[in-house]
Structure 1
Amino acid sequence: MNRPRTAFTLIELLVVISIIALLIGLLLPAVVAAREASRRAKCLNNLKQIALATLNYESAHASLPFGRRTISITPFSPGYPTPCDFTPQLSHTVFAYIWPFLEGNNGYNAFNLTRPYNSRANFTSEAVRTDAYVCPSDTDYVPLTGADVIPFSQASYGSNNGLHEQYLMNWSNTGDIPDPTGQYFQICNQVPGDGVFGTNWCHRLSSIVDGTSNTLLFGETSRFRDEPSGSNFYTNLIGGWWSGPNQVPGTLNDLRITGGATAVPKLNAPRDPGTAVLYDCLGTALYPPDWISVPSCQNYGNMGFRSMHPGGANFALADGSVRFIKDGVSVAAYRAMATRAGSEVVSADQ
């Protein structure tokens, strides 16, 4: 007996397609969340490696590395003709000094710490990518081109510089360096900082009297979430002020520090694409501690920690542990964790 062929009706097909689309819509956020959780875990592991490498350095040398070294004569030597000549600046950071403890011997052995960052002798090493220095959630670095471009590699982490500005300001009273009337004359009036890492200064682990489990060591300094393509100029091997693309006509370029960050700006504070916040913030500060009293400095994200992870950023603490800190963290508690000897009390609910 012949039977009629059965088939799906149009309505049945539409129902099936709708069900499939609904399932995809339900599963896609879960897949995205799972992938982000995996990237965040890898980022935490990177910071764990960086923290352990730094602690191993401290065990080997009885002190933490330079946060940033600019002059080759340290400490200040009165017999040297130009003891505070910053031309050219070395600008090597903690990330260069801990390289051997991260299995980065190839890059470190070719790196000349007595030559400045812009010496061609260091170009090869500065271009070496260290996987532990790159967060998987950070957008891919696009190498800059040009005859005068330093071929630095991508980086997503910075050292904790505390609350003192260490890049544009110094502790001299007269503006002439070295100034014997100012503080830190022995290191050319540079800023040791109240964090774990300073300029031309090596802190000891024993100086972290606030407790190593309550003090930030490293944090994320990835690209900003709203950055345009081609604005890839963060590096952690070189410490200093850097200028990115000009994104606001008639102003200076996007200026930010590299190699480290401070906790004066709020966590994941917005990027200043020009100089409006910069002038309002640093332009009213006379000494590094003064800029913390300027409200606009909280919004100068170019000098702060930031992350591509939603809701906060990953940090490594001075005891070697790692932690995810939310954007809504109390500013007072966040700043307290950035100082090594501020005697602040941070409660668990902060």
Structure 2
Amino acid sequence: MCKTCCRRDGLAVKSPQGFTLVELLVVIAIIGVLIALLLPAVQQAREAARRMQCSNHLKQIGLAIHNYASTHRVFPSGYVSQTTRDGSGPGWAAIDTNTWDAAPGWGWGTLILPFMEQRVITDTLRMDRPIWDPANRDVISNRLESYLCPSSSGENDSFTLRDQSGNALTRYGDPIRVGRSHYIASHGQESCWGECGSATTGLIFTDIYSGTTKTVAIHGNAANVADGPFYRNSHVSFRDVTDGTTNTLFISEHTSKLSDKTWVGVVPGAFTHPRYSTPENGPDAAATLVMMHVGPSGGELDITGSPIIHPMNFPTLHVGQMYAEHPGGGNVLMGDGSVNFQSETIDLILAAELASMNEGEAISSRGL
């Protein structure tokens, strides 16, 4: 009788057979190949969705900024610090005598909340008092999804502000915790963080075209330095953006994987600390909690002594630069409310041109 069949009722019945080892291995190999082909496509689809969500967040921020400007005739300040030239303010003495940062400290992210469908928070905040006032303590640590990029692999929850040494910054005996943001406002090419106090000797700035330098006396007024739309106590209107809002960077991404940022504002004495160490990197003053710059900027040089321009994802890894975790670049909000994807391979001079609002690069020989 055949080994593989037997007779039953005069019929030949085939005996059941299982998979051979070779067949099983072939099936496993095919499944593995299919998974290997499918996973990148799934990951790309997920990242495309996250990037679109991030873009929508920036569009919402852009609409809020424009609605703020329609109401107040100016764009929101980078942050509000009620100091005068001698470092004093109405009812509050300047706490940080190096930067002249003082109360109340509310940043652009807080100022536009009424136009971000966050009226409940703004009605709860005591904006007539400093950020760190006990009456504001519970509200300023709120997590606001509209200020978070879903592609950021860093933290999303509130964080404790730290001083220059890295210790928790306290007011009224308690650490100050603030809500996180993955979006920061543009100070322009120039920065004015720790140097923007009572310095009278000025800072040296380098022109990106000619290489010539100039010295500017600050006298505590960031407007003497800033060439972007957001800085301390800024009151920039549409007519001040002479390069054109289409050609001027307003808001950019900054992942919390690089450093901590907040929607709340600036607390005098706070410092932003980098999570990566590079030759050009280190803790920077409180203004970098809400703002960034692109460079070149006075006093910011690389290890060769050359001015630094750091567009999206530049390897300086500064606490005061643009940085996103989308493949190839990151989203930026322009002054006209449009959201563009800035490639990390963008021309350095072009990136610097887009950062300033009134230096004439929009009609330069580059044809911008």
Same fold (TM over 0.5): yes
| Distance in 1, Cα, partners of 2:48 & 2:276 | 32
2:289 is aligned to: 258
Is 1:157 aligned to 2:183, yes or no? yes
Q: Please give the per-residue CA displacement for 1:192-225, whole angstroms capped at 9, x wherever unaligned.
A: 611011211211111111111111110001123x
1:198–1:255 Cα change, 3 Å: closer
Indicate conservation of the 8 Å contact 1:104/1:130, yes or no.
Answer: no
Indicate conservation of the 8 Å contact 1:71/1:85, yes or no.
Answer: no
1:321–1:144 Cα change, 3 Å: closer
- TM superposition shift of 1:4: 1.2
Indicate conservation of the 8 Å contact 1:72/1:90, yes or no.
Answer: no
Indicate conservation of the 8 Å contact 1:158/1:261, yes or no.
Answer: yes
| Distance in 1, Cα, partners of 2:146 & 2:174 | 27
More moved, 30-39 vs 4-13: 4-13
Report the aligned-residue RMSD: 3.3
| Distance in 2, Cα, partners of 1:104 & 1:134 | 15
- Unaligned 5+ runs, structure 1: 177-181, 266-287
| TM-score of the aligned structures, taking structure 1 as reference length | 0.78
| Distance in 2, Cα, partners of 1:122 & 1:28 | 46
When Rg is computed on C-alpha atoms for both structures, the one with the higher figure is 2
Q: Please give the per-residue CA displacement for 1:289-318, whole angstroms capped at 9, x wherever unaligned.
A: 454795364435211011111211100100
Q: Equivalent pairs: percent with the same residue?
A: 28
- TM superposition shift of 1:245: 8.2
Indicate conservation of the 8 Å contact 1:264/1:292, yes or no.
Answer: no
Is 1:324 aligned to 2:328, yes or no? no
| Distance in 1, Cα, partners of 2:197 & 2:176 | 30
Indicate conservation of the 8 Å contact 1:67/1:202, yes or no.
Answer: no
| Distance in 2, Cα, partners of 1:161 & 1:174 | 21
1:142–1:213 Cα change, 3 Å: closer
- Unaligned 5+ runs, structure 2: 1-11, 96-101, 161-167, 203-215, 310-315
1:64 is aligned to: 75
Is 1:222 aligned to 2:255, yes or no? yes
Which of 190, 204, 213 pairs up with 2:222? 190
1:123–1:33 Cα change, 3 Å: same
SS state of the match for residue 13, structure 1? helix
Is 1:242 aligned to 2:250, yes or no? no
SS state of the match for residue 350, structure 2? helix
More moved, 117-126 vs 291-300: 291-300
1:81–1:153 Cα change, 3 Å: closer
| Distance in 2, Cα, partners of 1:81 & 1:28 | 58
| Distance in 1, Cα, partners of 2:252 & 2:113 | 17
Indicate conservation of the 8 Å contact 2:333/2:339, yes or no.
Answer: yes
Q: Please give the per-residue CA displacement for 1:94-125, whole angstroms capped at 9, x wherever unaligned.
A: 11110000001111112222322222222222
| Distance in 2, Cα, partners of 1:124 & 1:42 | 28
Which of 177, 189, 202 pairs up with 2:235? 202
1:148 is aligned to: 174
Equivalent residues, number: 309
In the TM superposition, what are the counterparts of 1:258-337 in structure 2 within 5 Å?
A: 258-264=289-295, 289-291=298-300, 295=306, 297-298=308-309, 299=316, 301-337=318-354
SS state of the match for residue 22, structure 2? helix
2:48 is aligned to: 37
| Distance in 2, Cα, partners of 1:260 & 1:121 | 25
- TM superposition shift of 1:253: 7.2
| TM-score of the aligned structures, taking structure 2 as reference length | 0.74
Which of 136, 157, 164 pairs up with 1:122? 136
| Distance in 1, Cα, partners of 2:333 & 2:186 | 10
| Distance in 2, Cα, partners of 1:39 & 1:191 | 36
More strand by share: 2
Indicate conservation of the 8 Å contact 2:82/2:89, yes or no.
Answer: no
2:206 is aligned to: none
| Distance in 1, Cα, partners of 2:90 & 2:227 | 28
1:62–1:130 Cα change, 3 Å: same
